[in-house]
Structure 1
Amino acid sequence: MEERNEQVVEEVKEAQVEEAVTTENSEKTVEEKSEAALLQEKVDELQAKLTETEGRTLRLQADFENYKRRVQMDKQAAEKYRAQSLVSDILPALDNFERAMQVEATDEQTKSLLQGMEMVHRQLLEALSKEGVEVIEAVGKQFDPNEHQAIMQVEDNEFESNAVVEEFQKGYKLKDRVIRPSMVKVNQ
């Protein structure tokens, strides 16, 4: 019987050892699972930060490309219209020149002076033309508020409705930009 008791005691000890090992293993498994869950949370958090950073980087790159394109367009516009300030300053002098040429020449000296003024006027217009300045055609054309400034309205059967009847001051364009609109009289 003692043998049997010893055998039972051994079986109980083995069962206790197995139970302790199983408990220890299950505790390790729980710890490993919770550690794995913590690591997964950390990975998910870092992945979210990475995604956010990548998105921010892409937006910054796009903003920088847009900035470069804007700077390039501004540079091209500045180059294209570089003469605008000079042309705007020259136009009143050109107007006075044209008014002076309206004087009738009565003697040879005045005719000679007038011819010289016409040559200088033509050279000025050629120089302005080389820079892309052109006169806005007005008389007989349809009124265009982008190119003409109406200062008077008349009723004239010789012209169509809304047509420019008379030009008081010439208008000028630099390439595709109006520097000064034509001052005109418009038919109703």
Structure 2
Amino acid sequence: MTVKDGQTTPEQNPEQEMHTSTDPEQGQNPGTEMTEENPNIEQAQAEQAEQADPVQEELEQLRILSNENYQRFLRTQADFDNFRRRSRQEKEEYLKYASLKLIEQLLPVVDNFSRALSTAQGTQDYDSLLRGVDMIYRQLEQALVQEGLTPLETVGQAFNPEFHQAVIQVESEEHEEGIVIEELQKGYMLKDKVLRPAMVKVSM
């Protein structure tokens, strides 16, 4: 304790003086340093967040686009499956009733044949019966022509293996070699396709 100018002041311990004094090399206490560093950290975090946001946004947009494309693919696949199923059903239906039109045209022919047979049992007029059968034949022939069936021309034509089937070959003084001189069984075309070649006799 020291007496100065009539006042008594306590003496400080040297160790207390060391603790209370400020370190001249540090210049300021640690609390001040933390206060100055915090803004720098927050600014760095903010800049990092700003850089990450566009990336996250782009990833989200890609995810949405991917999901939309996948849903579109599922719808397209479902539409294709439905189309394929309908096509198969329509094909089966067509094949099942492909001969419907021809059958409808042949029914009147069958009816006329039935009437002709019933009439033939109780009549002696064979000429009338013959005319009736000929009429039915022509009716049948007309129904087949409407479906695209046409007979092949044979007699007098040069032999063609695409349309003719040579059953017999004979020598002939009246015809050149390889000419059809007789038709043994008719051949037919169905539109542009050979349905059945004609059986013929050919000169040699």
TM-score range, shorter chain: 0.5 to 0.7
Matched, 1:131 2:143: yes
TM-aligned CA deviation for residue 166 of structure 1: 1.0
Distance 1:138 1:150 in 2: 11
SS at match of 1:43: helix
In the TM superposition, what is the alpha-carbon distance from 1:37 to its structure 2 partner? 4.5
Range with bigger deviation, 48-57 or 37-46: 48-57
CA distance in 1, matches of 2:163, 2:130: 26
Instruction: Give the 3 Å change call, closer, same or farther, for CA 127–65 of structure 1 in structure 2.
Output: same
Letter in 2 for 1:23: A
Distance 1:76 1:57, change over 3 A: same
Q: Which residue of 2 aligns with 1:42?
A: 63
Unaligned runs of 5+ in 1: 87-111
TM-score normalised by the chain length of structure 2: 0.50
| Count of residues in correspondence between the two structures | 159
Does the C-alpha gap of structure 1 residues 172 and 63 become closer, same or farther in structure 2, counting only changes over 3 Å? same
Matches within 5 A, 1:140-179: 140-145=156-161, 147-172=163-188
Decide whether the 8 Å contact of 2:102 with 2:143 is kept in 1.
Answer: no
Report if the CA contact (8 A) 2:164-2:200 is conserved: yes
- With over 3 angstroms needed to count, the CA separation of the structure-2 counterparts of 1:48 and 1:187, relative to structure 1, is farther
Give the aligned CA root-mean-square deviation in angstroms.
4.6
Higher normalized contact order (CA 8 Å, seq sep 6+, divided by chain length): 1
Deviation at 1:45, TM superposition (A): 2.5
Tell me the TM-score normalized by structure 1.
0.53
Contact persistence 1:81–1:174 (CA under 8 A): no
Alpha-carbon distance change, 35 to 175 in structure 1, aligned in 2, over 3 angstroms: closer
Larger radius of gyration: 2
Q: For the residues of structure 1 that align with 2:83 and 2:179, how far apart are their CA atoms?
A: 49
Counting aligned pairs with the same residue, the percent is 25
Equivalent residue for 1:20? 41
Task: Give the alignment of 1:59-78 within 5 angstroms.
Answer: 59-60=80-81, 63=84, 70=91, 74=95, 77-78=98-99
Q: Which has the higher helix share?
A: 1
Q: What letter matches 1:128 in structure 2?
A: L
What letter corresponds to residue 174 of structure 2 in structure 1? E
Runs (4 or more) in structure 1 with deviation over 4 Å come to 57-77, 83-86, 144-147, 172-180
Match of 1:105 in 2: none
Using the alignment, how far apart are the partners of 2:200 and 2:90 within structure 1? 40
1:122 equivalenced with 2:143 (yes/no)? no
Moved more, 120-129 or 142-151: 142-151
